[in-house]
Structure 1
Amino acid sequence: MEDTRGRLLLAAGELFAERGFDRASARDICDRAGVNVAAINYYFGGKEALYVEAVKAAAPLFRPEAVFDRQKRDPDQCDPKQLLADYIRIMLEHMMGQDTPSWKIKLIMREMLDPTPACDAFFRQHVLNNFHALLGILERLVPEGVPEHRKYQIALSIVGQCTYYPAAGRLLEEIIPDSLRPQFTVEHIVRHITEFVFSALSLTSSFVDQWRTDDSDCGDRKKEPALGQNAKAD
């Protein structure tokens, strides 16, 4: 039973990511999963509910649970600079790692650009929780007197950088010469964004200073692939 449900969820996630909710038919989903067309109603109660489950399966890519849980559990003992660096790392590793199915990234990007009524409440709450947790980290980093709207702009800039690389993968493959690809592993991008944000906020940190003087081990971390080899096809 769980195997059938899992096959349906995988097939639906792939087709919803490729075609969107409206153009992915229940029959096509069941054909890809190799199950009877009635299985969607039996296991999920309908196509709309199946779509919600597919988005829920992909959504954890955009919530670095460990960082936020650590901050919530013991905020005074957490270095906010390290929390911010960890946030950037986890976001990118989840979205660009070798073990991340590409359909999850595509589906979340679709939902961000063109939200569906089916997932509106869940997705909005999910994104809001993520964003407010990031704001909580920034509250401890930005200088006193920074206007509230600037904090939001800084947070949006961080999220934008973290989501751009996985979203624009094919475009970046055209832009970046082959000779430079080894400098675009996940680790290189993590370090670049972290350094960029810290510089913008006039922050200093020993681990960032070390990165700036030696990035020779970037490509060795978990044997990470260069840009264009980041996510699994399914």
Structure 2
Amino acid sequence: MKIPREGAAKTRQSLLTTAEEIFAEKGFRNATIAEICERAGTNIAAVNYHFGSKQALYIEAWRHAFSESIKAHPPSGGVREDAPPEERLRGHITATLCRMADENNREFWFMQREMANPTGLLEEVLREEIRPLQMRTAGLVRELLGPLVSDREAKFCEISIMSQCMNPLVARWGRGKKNAEPDDPPKIDDIYAYADHVVRFSLAGMRALREAMEEEHMGLKGGKKSATLETGAGNS
């Protein structure tokens, strides 16, 4: 008997949403298809029909969680693409931090589970989905640094910015214990204030690096000119 298209779509969506919750909570290995199906109100045959395997469901659940997260927090942060690079970086960083701190963002918890107990199942989909975000960060960094800063230094700046955004402390905003203990690590109470700090800190560092490279370049050019003049004077 053929399943009505509307009913099939609803079942698939229910499986994805439920799988997101359970995989984010327990990780791939500790989650079971039986538990997912029970909570979703369907049966194991539905998983096989829509996804083919637990592995495929895991991948699609992460992809769906990522997609929903990006919809909620677009990478531009609402900043126009023709805005100055400083403003575009601000929008990008703010959107990234809000995404990481969002209590509804299961994508983050998937990654936490993966780091603690890797499966290798998300490697390809991560390259596919995360790559555009990495390229966006890299492009903004290069635009702000200018052409004189080396690719190596530009990569270090990119890693520095994203490390500030991906710090586990960011995720504690809105997720941490209500009553913190004295020995608990610090908690970020205002994600927008922290975003502003990351932007100012990163821009200041890149500005200093750019200025240093420009001064070095001008010094080298000046040295070459002097050497040329001295050589010319000696031959006259």
Secondary structure of the equivalent of 2:122?
helix
Q: Within 1, Cα distance between the matches of 2:119 and 2:70?
A: 18
Q: Within 1, Cα distance between the matches of 2:10 and 2:148?
A: 55
**Equivalent in 170, 175, 191 of residue 185 of structure 2:** 175
Q: Within 2, Cα distance between the matches of 1:16 and 1:154?
A: 33
Partner of 1:78: 83
Kindly state the Cα deviation for residue 79 of structure 1 after the two structures are TM-superposed.
Answer: 1.0
How is 1:163-202 mapped onto 2 (pairs within 5 angstroms)?
163-164=166-167, 165-167=169-171, 170=176, 174-176=184-186, 184-202=189-207
Q: Within 1, Cα distance between the matches of 2:66 and 2:116?
A: 14
TM-score, L = length of structure 1: 0.70
Larger deviation, residues 38-47 vs 161-170:
161-170
Partner of 1:229: none
Change (3 A) 1:87 1:113: farther
Kindly state the Cα deviation for residue 68 of structure 1 after the two structures are TM-superposed.
Answer: 9.7
Residue 4 (str. 1) matches residue 11 (str. 2): yes
Change (3 A) 1:189 1:70: closer
Change (3 A) 1:166 1:40: farther
Change (3 A) 1:115 1:81: farther
Q: Deviations over 1:32-79 (max 9, x none)?
A: 2222222211222221111111110122447975529988xx6xx331
Residue 131 (str. 1) matches residue 134 (str. 2): yes
Partner of 2:150: 147
Q: Within 1, Cα distance between the matches of 2:105 and 2:148?
A: 42
**Contact 2:18/2:39, CA 8 A, preserved across alignment:** yes
Sequence identity (%): 27
Amino acid at match of 2:52: G
Q: Bigger radius of gyration, 1 or 2?
A: 2
User: Higher relative CO (CA 8 A, sep ≥ 6), structure 1 or 2?
Assistant: 1
How is 1:1-234 mapped onto 2 (pairs within 5 angstroms)?
1=7, 2-60=9-67, 61=69, 65-67=74-76, 77-97=82-102, 100-111=103-114, 116-164=119-167, 165-167=169-171, 170=176, 174-176=184-186, 184-202=189-207
Unmatched segments (≥5 aa) in structure 1: 204-234
Q: Within 2, Cα distance between the matches of 1:83 and 1:31?
A: 45
Q: CA RMSD in A?
A: 3.0
Change (3 A) 1:102 1:84: closer
Change (3 A) 1:152 1:86: same
Amino acid at match of 1:67: S
Secondary structure of the equivalent of 1:184?
coil
Kindly state the Cα deviation for residue 127 of structure 1 after the two structures are TM-superposed.
Answer: 2.3
Q: Within 1, Cα distance between the matches of 2:114 and 2:78?
A: 25
Change (3 A) 1:65 1:101: closer
Q: Within 2, Cα distance between the matches of 1:142 and 1:185?
A: 29
Kindly state the Cα deviation for residue 191 of structure 1 after the two structures are TM-superposed.
Answer: 1.1
Secondary structure of the equivalent of 2:44?
coil
**Contact 1:59/1:108, CA 8 A, preserved across alignment:** no
Q: Within 2, Cα distance between the matches of 1:43 and 1:123?
A: 21
Q: Within 2, Cα distance between the matches of 1:79 and 1:116?
A: 41
